Structure 1
Amino acid sequence: MSSISFPHLGDEMGPSSSSLHDPMQASFYTPPAFDMSNSFQMNPLSAHPPRTPRPSTAAQSHFRNTSMSISVYDEKAEEEQDGETVKADNAEVDEDEVVELDEEDVRVKEAEKLVGAHEVWRDMFVTSNGRDKAFKLMQYSIRVYLLFHSKILFRSGKPALQREIVRRLTAAKNGFSFTRKMLIMFNWLAPLSQVLAQQSVPFSSSGSSLMPHSFTAAPASSSKSSQLSGGPFLSHPILRALLSAPPPVLLELVNGLSDDIYSLSRLGLIGSKLGERAARFADWCWLFATLVGLVENGVELGVIEGLQREVQSRAYKESLSGATSKSQPKASKIDERELMRLQKKNYWLQASRAKLVMDLIFVSWDIFRIKGWKDTVQSLAGLAAAVLSSAKLYDKYRTALVNKALTS
């Protein structure tokens, strides 16, 4: 049986098994060694054309997303770690500052314990203002006692011993009043110093920068006419300073001068009629100064109360946001100290307003010449004003001694 031979069949279909064992053709048909480094390798004896292996896109995207997510998480973790370290550092700084604030509070309390009441009164009595407050307390305490003594304790009869006690206490009361008048003499020098300390006087006729340049060089005729109409008198520096001074300072200045004139009349150096007129004029100045003080006190109270509400609202917002004294110790400590300071300021402003009200009641009975209940009202109002003003001055000197103890 004849066989059909196809040309190049061996080349196309591949070598036979016998040819593989033929030593002559073994070198041509020996398959290459398997490369372990490649992930995919085509069979060289395969009839299909070779294809270039491509990696899976899904695998690539999976590994890419995995690597990106890992890197992103690593960055976030690093940022969180950095943030935690910064927070830890800030927490350590806040704790150190809170410890310093606590130590300062402890030092203040220790200094307050070291300051005695006798030291405060000693420093108060050095000044004329402190002596005036002490004598005012004695004067109106005696006056209130005499009021109860005559109208409550011994209304029916007054034996000789009681009359002698009343006479001595009345003389002491008048002596304290006269001594206080001597102590407050020359108090008008303080407002006068404020008036003369003004460096620039507004609306000056020669050196003011507010005046237009065309009016700076006045003709000689106008200057002569101004001098004839009282120009040199009005251009005196002291008078111009007085005219430009604020009204409260002027009231204090005039009140001090009137009180000194009345004191000189009580000494006998000036007539009694002039002294009575000066006393009444001083009462009017005292009335207007008290009204001005009430207005200023109301403005200061409004400002302090506004600051208090601001601090309280800030603390309330922090509490709503989750911030506590443990999470933000420094901020809470500062807010607490600021609130205590404002509350103390508000307390003494309230005391000053009550004292001004007592002064207004006292002077109104003299200004309007009210006769009913005059002794009772003025005695109680004077004692209340003395207590309030002495307490305020006592706190001022005590605070000064505490600060001195802290710095020393």
Structure 2
Amino acid sequence: MTEPGDFLRRLFAAAVAAANPAVSLARHLPGPPRGRTIVIGAGKAAAAMARAVETAWQGELSGLVVTRYGHGTPTSCIEVVEAAHPVPDAAGEAAARRILDLVAGLTPDDLVLCLISGGGSSLLSLPAPGLTLVDKQAVNRALLKSGAAIGEMNCVRRHLSAIKGGRLAAACHPAKVVTLLISDIPGDDPLDITSGPTIGDPTTCSDALAILAYRRIAVPPAVREHLESGAGETVKPGDPRLGTPDLRMIATPLMALQAAAALAQREGVPAYILGDAIEGEAREVGRVMAGIAKSVSAHGLPFAAPCVLLAGGETTVTVRGQGRGGRNVEFLLALGAALAGHPGVHALAGDTDGVDGIEAIAGAVLAPDTPLRAAARGLSFADALDRNDGHGYFEALGDAVITGPTLTNVNDFRAVLVV
């Protein structure tokens, strides 16, 4: 094994590479139809997925996908539009309208390839009739600050949308729809990847209202009226417009973790995947992982050192401070505080799309000497946690992980190395 920090960075790179659409998308493509082939989609990986389709497809196709600003890539016949994430903007709204226009008037001989990856809930944002983009932006911002789990956020989003919750598939009827997915969701539930634009939704407006009440989120009057009236009900499973859903998962968080584990094993370091769907407050997950690492170091339980502990999923952050952060660096701050410079424990946490929070910083690395180096700069874990300032903390130490847009997204990657 090389230097621990370098080793962890290479594990992260292996995880990201395993989720590259160019690696796995082609084998999931259906055969060409008798009629037209239309490609639509949304998400942080949408542009890379579109390019992979163009490379592998035999025959004519056209279409439009929307991705995050800076995550576009050159394509020849599928248009790529960029929009905002995690709070939607007018570019995403316009792209969603154009996608609905593209699939209007199709026939049973036509095929729609729908390319869906994480981040599309913001990128494919078309307010339901009676609501405005400003309404949706306000709700999105409040949900992001509330600590709501991704399933809760997406339940609310589906019921405020004119395109999610099965509505896009219904608009494609009677054409055949094949949905190719890259999962960023704990448990890989297709309904929660981009809020399920091609999936029948069993949840209700009442469920959305209950989430808003539980999270104590005040919403614009038009939003409350929309939900209380039932006007926001989604397309339900079994709706004839959905046909027989054809969903094909091309990359998942587990696949990424398995790729990292395989690299570690090749380098002689036993690797253990603790889970691919770990949720909860990032700082609480950090404390738990610190406890496991200390047990490994002190008692050889549940695993003997040296080893690397791998985990994925999507944690949350209840924002209290005004710092610059994201859930992965929040996790590392809490991990570091609990480890308190424990010898022999190193860690990396990063978002596989290259953006932790809203900045182009994927995450960071943590080492036993991190607290000493931080103290020399007047920094502490406790203060950074109070301010939710993980990026500021790790940038000052030169320990940020910066990849640039990876053009994929299978959510968080966490690796704790005990030597």
TM over 0.5: no
Bigger helix share: 1
Higher relative contact order (CA closer than 8 Å, sequence separation 6+): 1
- Per the normalisation by structure 1, the TM-score is 0.23
